[in-house]
């Protein structure tokens, strides 16, 4: 498999964790988001959205991190990233989607750039925007971690799930943007445990081949 990734992309970070967790070997192709390589005609031939990640497998390209991870779960079911019970699966998806659908799209690079350029917002306004959507989502996850985390080490239950795969990159990103995480002690503890696992550690931005 080949993964189109960028070291600081939190959506690509999710897929790197899933690949590592499932012990699937892969190579990385790393368009540089900082210099705009993802917006070239060449890269858009791979992903017309001009976004990473994208996964190349068996002559096909799959885009969207959650679709890629679901695909990986089908082709390599063990270890599973979803619980078998339908209600538990729905809860894991709901937690993951708080991040992937409600926080991340509002705080993506292109959105922040648009706020700065077209909307003429200064750095403080953009940081406030970023923190606002993180805190809305993290507040809900902190509440749900109470009843749904079985051990204080996983967002749902007591094994790694898609919810954890989405949480760790968003925590990394929030720290990078200087968001105060003290209101979320349960999330901090879960993140700390997950980051100690080899699959998560090997997916960290700073250890990626294109990290600068």
Q: Least distance from C-beta 14 to ligand GSH, angstroms?
A: 7
Q: Report how far residue 195's alpha carbon sits from residue 123's, in angstroms, rounded to the nearest whole number.
A: 30
Q: Between 33 and 171, whose beta carbon lies closer to ligand GSH?
A: 33
Q: Least distance from C-beta 152 to ligand GSH, angstroms?
A: 27
- Applying CB under 6 A, the residues found at the interface with ligand GSH are 9-11, 33, 38, 51-53, 64-66, 100, 108-110
Q: Enumerate residues 6+ apart whose C-beta is below 8 A from 204.
A: 13, 172, 195
Q: Between 4 and 148, whose beta carbon lies closer to ligand GSH?
A: 4
The closest of 72, 20, 53 to 201, measured between CA atoms, is 20
Q: Enumerate residues 6+ apart whose C-beta is below 8 A from 43.
A: 4, 31, 37, 50
Q: Between 38 and 154, whose beta carbon lies closer to ligand GSH?
A: 38
Q: Between 52 and 168, whose beta carbon lies closer to ligand GSH?
A: 52
Tell me the pairing of strands 54-57 and 2-4. antiparallel
Q: Least distance from C-beta 188 to ligand GSH, angstroms?
A: 22
């Amino acid at each position: 498999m080949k993964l189109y990734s960028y070291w600081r992309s939190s959506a690509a970070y999710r897929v790197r964790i899933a690949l590592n967790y499932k012990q699937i070997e892969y190579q990385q192709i790393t368009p540089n988001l900082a210099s705009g390589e993802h917006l070239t005609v060449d890269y858009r031939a791979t992903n017309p959205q001009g976004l990473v990640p994208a996964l190349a497998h068996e002559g096909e390209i799959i885009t969207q991190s959650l679709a890629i991870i679901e695909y990986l779960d089908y082709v390599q079911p063990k270890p599973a990233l979803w619980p078998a019970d339908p209600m538990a699966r729905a809860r894991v998806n709901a937690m993951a989607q708080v991040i992937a659908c409600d926080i991340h799209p509002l705080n993506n690079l292109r959105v922040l750039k648009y706020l700065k350029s077209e909307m003429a917002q200064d750095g403080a306004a953009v940081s406030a925007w970023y923190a606002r959507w993180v805190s809305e989502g993290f507040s809900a996850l902190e509440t749900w971690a109470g009843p749904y985390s079985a051990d204080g080490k996983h967002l749902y239950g007591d094994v790694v799930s898609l919810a954890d795969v989405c949480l760790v990159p968003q925590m990394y990103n929030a720290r990078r943007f200087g968001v105060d995480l003290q209101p979320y002690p349960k999330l901090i503890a879960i993140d700390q445990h997950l980051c100690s696992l080899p699959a998560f550690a090997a997916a960290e931005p700073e250890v990626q081949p294109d990290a600068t």
